[in-house]
Amino acid sequence: MSSDSPLTMHWFLPTMGDSRQLVGGGHGVGTGSAGAIRPADIGYLTQVARAAEQVGFTGALTPTGAWCEDAWLTTAMLVAHTERLKFLVAFRPGSVSPTLAAQMAATYQRHSGGRLLVNVVTGGESSEQRAYGDFLDKDARYTRTGEFLKVVRAIWRGETIDLDGEHVHVENAFLDRLPDPVPDVYFGGSSPAAGDIAAEHADVYLTWGEPPAAVAEKIAWIRKLADEQGRTVRFGIRLHVITRDTADAAWAQAQSLLDALDPSTIDSVQSGLSASESEGQRRMRALHNGSTDDLEISPNLWAGVGLVRGGAGTALVGSHTEVADRIAEYHELGIDEFVLSGYPHLEEAWQVGEGVFPILRERGLWSPPEGGGIDPDAGVSVPFAAMRGGK
């Protein structure tokens, strides 16, 4: 089922650090070559956030995990350095009580002027969860996520709730001051338990970038479950992007990223990912099976990122027109929100903003948020070019 809704475009904040390669700094980068690791300090993240804001992105996803900076604290600091960009903050229910999370969201909305979105992450790896003091198995974590969101949703509606669940226990939980607006809840997952949670609680179901046919199946699955709950869910997709003026230039950049990878690094990462409990991660690995051959798994959809990165492992690769075509194709399936990223995140945000957004805008699929977007008619004065008579 196609969507008549306009596109909402989000970017990504690399709170683990950034570079020109998939693995920070690449290999063999010497003097005279660009490729240094860019630390995820507030100065650099501000540059990325302001670039995303300026070119027309609505929000920016900020990840969660042991390998990156804390999303709540980092984005709260960035609010003061930006004007309208929303922050899609990823967090895990097991690390904070639902009442406190609801209160944090309300505080964030007041101090930011309503610029919070939340991405609830159940957590796919028991080993990492245990490092944070969470010893539930995967199924139990999904049960807890459902109980967590039941409490948060009730509190945000202004209700007072008691819950004696399997994993969440609260008594007389309420908020004195409600969030305004209530932040949208983003949620993803490919297991049956994830579908039930999304159908009951999510505003936006997020999928990683699989080929269109697989994405269509996921949309149909979640839409059916949501219908049974009497709810409507929007759909989003998480993708990397390599977009250039020509297809040849984009694919040359993808090949450059691939050439910089050491086979031993690929083997090591794939060995670790093979032990993942995440169904979504299993589906990402199945797109390439650890091989560098045949990585274009669908037109303009490249699985190379997943060779050395967990989570979303595919990128849209092509000319600006081709990337816009693929975005339109996913939109026709029912995807309304895109969460994009690229290496490095500062420069690639401008590639999307200058190259892809004008095409989407011309097609009537997207319009920039108020105060954002690049004016295609804005000219730049060139010194001396307009002078007559050589003066």
Q: What is the mean pLDDT of residues 267-282?
A: 92
The DSSP code for 38 is: B
pLDDT at res. 32: 54
pLDDT tens-place string over residues 344-363: 999 999 999 999 999 999 99
Using the structure block, give the residue that is written with the tokens 């199945």: 286
Q: Where are the alpha helices (DSSP H) in the chain?
A: 42-55, 71-79, 98-112, 126-131, 138-156, 192-201, 212-228, 247-259, 263-273, 279-286, 320-333, 345-351, 357-362
Q: pTM of this prediction?
A: 0.94
**Mean pLDDT for the chain overall:** 93
What's the CATH architecture for 8-238+334-362? Alpha-Beta Barrel (3.20)
Give the pLDDT score at 26.
38
pLDDT for res 129:
86
97-101, 114-118, 125-129, 329-333: range with lowest mean pLDDT: 125-129
pLDDT, position 36: 78
Q: Number of H helices and number of E strands within the chain?
A: 13, 13
Write down the pLDDT at residue 196.
96
Does 376 score more than 90 pLDDT? no
Residue 388 has pLDDT above 70, yes or no: no
Q: How confident is the model at residue 170 (pLDDT cuts 50, 70, 90)?
A: very high
Q: What is the pLDDT of residues 231-256, one digit of tens each?
A: 999 999 999 999 999 999 999 999 99
pLDDT tops 60 at residue 162: yes
